[in-house]
Amino acid sequence: MGKYRFRLQKLLDIRIDKEEESKREFQQAKRESLNVKEKLDLLKANYEKYNNMSNFKSVIEQKITHKYLKALVYSIDKAKIELKDKEKVVEMKRNELRKRQIDRKTVDIIKEKQETAFIKEQNRIEQKANDEFALYGFIRNVQNT
């Protein structure tokens, strides 16, 4: 019985490599998005911590806190914009990954179908040879008796 050789194996290998690359890019984009989200959460927590001005006794402390809160608000706004941008990148990478998975699966399905057809053909040839051997054996037994 012969060994099956897929003629599009190089194409399948290339598509598998591209899918793996796309997975890495998606994971990297997801990590960056999570880092920005953690940064945003930390900024919001700091804002909540210092937002209550009644905790501070002197006017100087209140002014310093007010400036710090303004800086926090600016940083929070910047972080929100950055998070939206990162989420867009994550979504783009997710779509790219889906497309590459579909491309790979398409070639993989072709390979499976061709391999199944090859195995069926090999089994048919083997069965035909076995039937011929059985027929020759039967004819010899009939002639010898």
**Whole-number Å distance between alpha carbons of 20 and 12:** 12
Nearest in space to 93 (alpha carbons), one of 39, 43, 25: 25
**Whole-number Å distance between alpha carbons of 63 and 57:** 11
Which class is domain 9-144? mainly alpha
Mean pLDDT of 19-40: 97
The residue ranking higher by pLDDT, 29 or 59, is 29
Domain boundaries defined on the chain: 9-144
Q: Is the pLDDT of residue 54 over 80?
A: no
Mean pLDDT of 40-44: 95
Of 54-68, 71-85, 102-116, which gets the smallest average pLDDT? Answer: 54-68
Mean pLDDT of 23-40: 97
pLDDT value at position 143? 85
The residue ranking higher by pLDDT, 54 or 58, is 58
Q: Is the pLDDT of residue 111 over 80?
A: yes
Overall pTM > 0.85: no
| pLDDT > 90 fraction of the chain, expressed in percent and rounded | 72
List Cβ neighbours of 53 (8 Å cut-off, separation of 6 or more): 62, 65, 66
